[in-house]
Structure 1
Amino acid sequence: MNEVIQKVTAFIIRERSGAKELLVFKHPTAGVQIPAGTVEKGEDIETAVKRETYEETGLQLVEIENYLGCFENELKNNQRIIAETTQVYIEPNLTAIPYKRKLLKGLTVDYRST
């Protein structure tokens, strides 16, 4: 049986001047991102979200308001998931789609080291 690797993602929103803003940051090599990372051994999800948020943004006093859900993928040996670039809309409009459908979209590929 393969080892389970848990990941977390934080959608941090603030209201400023009557508008909602989603916190993003620019990673030196990976581009614009939202806080996310791997759950450490023995760590619960809430602690992992807060730790990743602190490590990537410096924010310490964050509270989790909503749990958006989770999904599991069991992959065969030598398979990986490549996630699709995603747009997240804070306010629904004509081009918005439900977040779960869009965020879960990806491509499974066979991986072979050379």
Structure 2
Amino acid sequence: MTASQQKVTAYITRTVNEDVQLLTMTSNDTTWAGVEVPGGTVDAGENLETALFREVKEEADLTDVEIISYLGDNEYISRTTGERIIRHNYHLCFNGQSHDAFQVIVESNDKDNGWLYDYEWVSLSQDEELQLADKLQPGLIQLRKRILH
């Protein structure tokens, strides 16, 4: 049986002038991945919510976030390791102040330490067709269903 790995993903939104926006990221270190949202691996002994907040802090340098809802999970096989991945998707709300675009240098104990992420708040209005990396699209679909009815 293939080993499985738990991951968390943060679909962080904010509302500006009644426009719901999603925090997205890209990186020159992961151009193959396309547009993503913060998330990563759950460490040994860590619960899902602790991992979620840690990943958001490490990758986006945000702490003023709260969980709105659990968006479910999706499973897939890693193209690089062959491991079964279970990705737990969460909707979080950002309650602080932020530029519309910003950069963060990751500080972590993982392979992304030192990577530069470019962040941008993107409108989730119904006429926009935002596409995330394939492994992240299921969570975005659930998020749209819940907030855009």
What TM-score bracket applies, with the shorter chain setting the length? 0.5 to 0.7
* Larger strand fraction of residues: 2
1:1-114 alignment, distance < 5 Å: 1-31=1-31, 32-72=35-75, 79=82, 90-92=124-126, 103=138
Shift of 1:25: 1.9
1:40 to 1:80, Cα distance in 2 relative to 1, 3 A: closer
Contact 2:3 2:83 (C-alpha < 8 Å) held by counterparts: no
Moved more, 65-74 or 11-20: 65-74
Matched letter for residue 48 of structure 1: A
Residues 18 and 46 from structure 1, CA distance in 2 versus in 1: closer, same or farther, beyond 3 angstroms?
same
Q: TM-score, normalised by structure 2?
A: 0.49
* SS of residue matched to 1:49: helix
Separation in 2, partners of 1:79, 1:44: 24
1:64-88 deviations in whole A, cap 9, x for unaligned? 110001234579xx8468xxxxxxx
Deviates further, 18-27 or 28-37: 28-37
Deviation at 1:91, TM superposition (A): 4.6
| Structure 1 counterpart of 2:41, one-letter code | T
Larger helix fraction of residues: 2
**Using the alignment, how far apart are the partners of 1:74 and 1:52 within structure 2?**
21
User: Which amino acid is 2:20 matched to?
Assistant: K
Q: CA deviation at 1:61?
A: 2.1
Following the alignment from structure 2 to structure 1, what is the Cα–Cα distance between the partners of residues 4 and 83? 13
In the alignment of these two chains, the number of paired residues is 91
Taking structure 1 as the reference length, the TM-score comes to: 0.62
- The CA RMSD measured in Å over matched residues stands at 3.2
Q: CA deviation at 1:27?
A: 1.7
Inter-partner Cα distance in structure 2 for 1:15 and 1:30: 28
TM-superposed deviation, 1:36:
1.3
Q: Percent of pairs identical after alignment? A: 36
Residue 22 of structure 2 aligns with an amino acid whose one-letter code is L
